[in-house]
Structure 1
């Protein structure tokens, strides 16, 4: 595992703890569309190793269900692939959204290919019955201090980064910073960019270790606040374009946050 100063990323070649994409609709799809999507996803999930399936139901108290004389309709399905007793991958198919998470991320291309194989048909089914509100991409990167609470955060994070609010940075104390803004994409879409940086002490292998957790996330929003509505359903091809664009943007955000040494440790050019 590459070490720099008194820090190391959580993996040998990168620091990504979680990579995820989410497609959110403007309205929930109907029962027929929802069932067709699940029928498409179920065998693919098994093929990909996401063999643990569980329904997602609304949290209505049993007394309310009995009073209304209704049962809680299934709102979604979760899919999990276990890896050495931990979650390796996870997906959620809800009536208003589809989400894919990878806790063992290696590279962008295989991550995106598995997401497409699992969710591609469901996206087509869903967007035939509802329009897309937004497409979200996110990464959570983690760096671990090697000398407890004495690890100097300036070895990981560029204190002069424009993505850190003035007054938030501290080299030895815990701190949190959040920034967000909009960027135009085209006449139909704008991008909400979110950056969250957390510096805190955590118990790791029975020792106190300082950790830097950086979450970068984009939301490509369609037809909102003066942007023209998209005339056609958002196909996987259009979604793929946004995912690739967001991936590049998230890399550039992380590059602007990290110190040169941290960027080199995870081979971020």
Structure 2
């Protein structure tokens, strides 16, 4: 075959889980998280990243930058890249994982880190609500040659333009939609990016499938009452990601990565 998953039994390069709040996380919550000894025992690398938010001025005035400070607790590999990270920045609380095994184990760990972040926000005393629950998964497959046969990895499907099968070595195909939901207080955004690109450091030719999902809550939900909804939602987003992969991967590739549409 012209493609193989980047891992022996799955293709996940990274997975992230996030909460977007209805306003910025307070400095007190950031400080509280940076002092959580139970979390630091597992995520000992403490960093304080900064970012800038640009707000448009009135009447065409130049955008005004606003500095945002946050905290990241991480478990680093020897090369300095995070295998796990818990971040607070602006209105976002997020967990990033690039050491994926299987869903049940990964989600159990990620949920514990998110709950630690939620507790820090609640204990800081600033009432916040959750506006968005998000989940992103990136799967990667390495091509064995530049003139690969894309049909070794992907089947013709409703998410992929037919020209991709003759587009050459590198290309991208990005599509988005809102999945139907029965609850009018929620909307379900899906963004599916399929790309083939050369990795800058190794020149490897990689097929990457990035599936971003957001559950947008209207009205937002009090963060103190979000735990059960987080678990229910993330499991639903995981199932949706598997369904999408089942639609686009060949049967052989799905078998190689252990994609089980009925299990985990």
- The whole-number CA distance in structure 2 between the counterparts of 1:184 and 1:105 is 29
- Residues 1:26 and 2:22 are matched in the alignment: yes
Helix, strand or coil at the partner of 2:161? coil
Q: Is the contact between residue 33 and residue 129 of structure 1 (CA under 8 Å) also seen in structure 2? A: no
State the match for 2:198 in structure 1: 201
Q: Which moved more, 1:243-252 or 1:177-186?
A: 177-186
Aligned to 1:214: 209
- Name the CA distance, whole Å, in 1 between partners of 2:138 and 2:253: 15
Q: Decide whether the 8 Å contact of 1:15 with 1:141 is kept in 2.
A: yes
Match of 2:136 in 1: 138
Contact 1:189 1:221 in 2 (8 A): yes
TM-score normalised according to structure 1 size: 0.81
Shift of 1:168: 3.7
| CA-CA distance at 1:87 after TM superposition | 2.6
CA distance in 1, matches of 2:27, 2:147: 55
How far apart are the structure 2 equivalents of 1:156 and 1:149? 14
Deviation at 1:217, TM superposition (A): 1.4
Shift of 1:57: 2.6
Equivalent residue, structure 2, for 1:43: 37
Equivalent residue in structure 1 for 2:48, among 48, 52, 55: 55
Is this contact kept in 2: 1:79–1:91, CA < 8 A?
Answer: yes
- Measure, in 2, the Cα distance between the counterparts of 1:59 and 1:73: 5
- Mark the runs of 5 or more structure 1 residues left unpaired by the alignment: 61-71, 224-228
Give the corresponding residue for 2:69: 75
Distance in 1, matches of 2:252 and 2:103, equals: 22
Which deviates more from structure 2 when the two are superposed, residues 73-82 or residues 233-242?
Answer: 73-82
The residue that corresponds to 1:226 in the other structure is none
Gaps of 5+ in 2: 54-65
Instruction: Give yes or no for contact 1:216–1:254 (8 Å, CA) kept in 2.
Output: no
> Matched residues in 1 for 2:50 and 2:200: separation?
34
Structure 2 counterparts to residues 28-177 of structure 1, below 5 A:
28-39=24-35, 42-48=36-42, 50-59=43-52, 75-85=69-79, 86-126=81-121, 129-146=127-144, 148-158=145-155, 160-170=156-166, 172-177=168-173
Q: Supply the distance in 2 between the matched residues of 1:38 and 1:152 (Cα, whole angstroms).
A: 49
Judging changes above 3 Å, is the alpha-carbon distance between structure 1 residues 74 and 175 closer, same or farther for their aligned structure 2 residues? closer
Aligned-residue RMSD, C-alpha: 2.4
Secondary structure of the structure 1 residue equivalent to 2:94:
strand
Task: Determine which of 176, 183, 192 is the counterpart of 1:180.
Answer: 176
Q: TM-score scaled to structure 2, two decimals?
A: 0.82
Contact 2:137–2:212 under 8 Å retained in 1: yes
Q: Deviations over 1:130-166 (max 9, x none)?
A: 11121111110000112x20221210111x2111134
Residues 267, 93 of structure 1: alpha-carbon distance in 2 compared, 3 angstrom cutoff: same
Give per-residue Cα distances to partners, 1:211-235, cap 9 Å, x unaligned: 2110011000011xxxxx2565442
Contact 2:18-2:93 at 8 Å conserved across structures: yes
Distance 1:203 1:232, change over 3 A: closer
**Distance between the aligned counterparts of 1:173 and 1:150, measured in 2?**
6
The superposition leaves residues 56-92 of structure 1 with CA deviations (integer Å, 9 ceiling, x where unpaired) of 23459xxxxxxxxxxx976210122122424311221
